[in-house]
Structure 1
Amino acid sequence: MTHSVDALPIQPAKSRLLITLVVDTSSSMLEDDRIGELNQALSEWRAELMKDDHLRRHGEIALVTFGNGHVQAVDPSGRTTQATTPYVPIAEFSPPALQAGGVTPMVEGLQYALDLLAARRQFLRKDGIGLVNRPLVYLITDGVPTDSQGHRSDRWRAFAPALRQQENGKHLLFFAFGVKGAEAEVLSGLAPQSWRLLADFNFAEVLTFVSASIETAAAASARSEPAEVVHAKVQDRLDKESRMDRFLRGGPE
């Protein structure tokens, strides 16, 4: 008799791996139905996550969006519109269809994600549950930060040092992934050692990169290493993933 991975029992874990997706849902995501591509990619990504036993036992995920509705935590389980509990077990990850619109409050979205993460860490600590692995925070965008009027904003420059401080203190690992429309200056400024800019709108490839980085960053050998060492390992893994993808597509390696 065969069983789906959803049917397998999830054993209580004494530690957690916290994953936070910070996703752009601004009006630019309406072009070429990018938001539809993202929704499909997120739906298919769930099956990939469920293949990882370690993630299923220890992983929790939160989904923060910035754009439509300004900044909000969306229920990653898809049960409600807004999250009453921002983090849910990986086994419950079934994101709702995201809607796009509005400006691009990227910095506000990132700050909100860090606040949610800090609150979750404190709650787990009070319950005696540790974080063996550093939390992982992922920015996924197709644009540049704007102010409330939709004008380009450089507030990310002042925010970047806060991310470096968090990483240097081994409080988290931050990654920035962009598709066509995003800017290398912003991505590399926020994540100097852990950014990627794709030439198209392939959100499925972005999430493949996320999965590969989770596997590498969550390895036991990476737990005590400095952020720059972990990022170097992740980048090496992503380079190999990219070369393999180009090979399978019949393109140049």
Structure 2
Amino acid sequence: MTTPQPGIGFNDALPVQQAKSRLLITLVVDTSSSMNEQGPGGERRIDELNRALAALRAELMKDDVVRRQGEIALVTFGANHVVAVDPTGRTPGRASEPYAPVSQFNPPALQAGGITPMVEGLQYAFELIADRRGRLRAEGIPLSNRPIVYLITDGVPTDASGHRSDNWRSLVPVIRSQEAGKHMLFFALGVAGAEIDMLQGLAPNSSHYLAQLEFSQVLMLVSASIDTGADPTSRSAPAEEVYGQVQTRIERIRTFLDENH
């Protein structure tokens, strides 16, 4: 008999029967040097982020569809440039298998440092999605819904010299095309230090500036939006309609957080 480990919930202790179809979730997370700065809760942002990521699995496991169908990848940009870390936390450094079942999500502690190669991080994430989609197709495994991508940042993109760059604009038509073809849902989430114009440019209908929230609260919103994006009824809906549903849900959660602050 398997004994649940401390910190693991009841749903985590149960064996997960992997569904035939898959839902791909990709977190693209800023780990540049600015993440060493203090967040609204008084601790370093990178420490807040690590705590929030450690708690994310329990949140995601509450949704039966996500629990059975979800595969998750974690791409970082900043420290070590751009890396897909092992989402299970078993292997240090670059992951040989970027996606893992949500039930196995247990990422290693991330370190902050370096510049902000945000565009390269997003491009790499899109490549990982295309590769995983292709491998699943070759195995005869369909996607249950559109892949969901989350950009989480506290800054602006930089070039190789660390200077501010507007090269994020080159990604805009790529993202819009993926959305229009119902191939992707893309969310841009910014905490204090992120540039609102950049967030809105990348995600006009799905950007959220969350300056006063800790990362635990930011990832609470991520979990809620994944639940909405994974709903079978959203599969054929236009991206704008799904974003509207997510916006309504996020506003309710933020109201709750404000009232209980």
TM-score by length of 2: 0.92
Distance 1:15 1:51 in 2: 18
Equivalent residue for 2:81? 70
Residue 216 in 1 paired to residue 228 in 2?
Answer: yes
In structure 2, how many angstroms separate the alpha carbons of the residues matched to 1:159 and 1:113?
12
Pairwise CA distance, 1:52: 2.0
2:14 is aligned with 1:8:
yes
Question: Across the two proteins, how many residue pairs are aligned to each other?
Answer: 249
State the match for 1:17 in structure 2: 23
TM-fit CA distance, 1:5? 2.0
Contiguous gaps of at least 5 residues in structure 2: 5-9, 39-43
**1:113-132, Cα deviation, whole Å (9 max, x unpaired):** 00000000000001010012
Instruction: Judge which range, 118-127 or 37-46, deviates more.
Output: 37-46
Give 5+ residue unaligned stretches, structure 1: none
Q: 1:61 aligned to 2:72? A: yes
Letter of the structure 2 residue corresponding to residue 29 of structure 1: M
In structure 1, C-alpha distance between the alignment counterparts of 2:181 and 2:65, rounded to whole Å? 25
In structure 2, what is the Cα distance between the partners aligned to 1:121 and 1:44? 27
Deviation at 1:16, TM superposition (A): 0.3
Aligned partner of 1:140: which letter? I
- What residue in structure 2 maps to residue 146 of structure 1? 158
Deviation at 1:236, TM superposition (A): 1.0
Question: Structure 2 CA distance, aligned partners of 1:198 and 1:11?
Answer: 35
Report SS of the residue matched to 2:37. helix
Find the aligned partners of 2:111 and 2:228 in 1 and give their Cα distance: 31
Report the alpha carbon displacement of residue 77 of structure 1 after superposing the two structures with TM: 0.3
- CA deviation vs aligned residue, 1:20-63 (integer Å, no higher than 9, x gap): 00000000001121101100111122221222222121000000
Q: Specify the SS of the correspondent of 2:20.
A: coil
Q: Are the equivalent residues in 1 in contact too, given 2:50–2:109 (CA < 8 A)?
A: yes
1:237 aligns with 2:249: yes
Is the CA contact 2:11–2:62 (under 8 Å) kept in the aligned structure 1?
A: yes
Matches within 5 A, 1:104-123: 104-123=116-135
- Aligned-partner Cα distance in 1 for 2:253–2:159: 35
2:31–2:113: 8 Å Cα contact kept in structure 1?
yes
Q: Distance in 2 between matches of 1:52 and 1:112?
A: 28
In 2: Cα distance, 1:42 partner to 1:100 partner = 15
Could you tell me which residue of structure 2 aligns to residue 197 of structure 1? 209
**CA-CA distance at 1:201 after TM superposition:** 5.3
TM-score of the superposition, structure 1-length normalised? 0.95
1:235, 1:108 → 2: CA distance?
27
After superposition, the C-alpha distances for 1:53-110 in whole angstroms (9 at most, x for unaligned) are 2212100000000000110100010001221100000010001000110000000000
Q: Distance in 1 between matches of 2:111 and 2:174?
A: 29
| Identity of matched residues, % | 62
Whether the 8 Å CA contact 2:147–2:185 is kept in 1: the answer is: yes
Deviations 1:146-176 (A, max 9, x none): 0011000000112111111111111110000
Q: What corresponds to 2:41 in structure 1?
A: none
Partners in 2 of 1:205 and 1:26 — Cα distance? 20
Asked if the contact 1:107/1:155 (under 8 Å) is kept, the reply is yes
Separation (CA, whole Å) in 1 of partners of 2:99 and 2:115: 25
CA positional deviation for 1:241: 1.0
2:34 counterpart letter in structure 1:
S
Q: Is this contact kept in 2: 1:34–1:201, CA < 8 A?
A: no
Structure 2 counterpart of 1:103, which letter? I
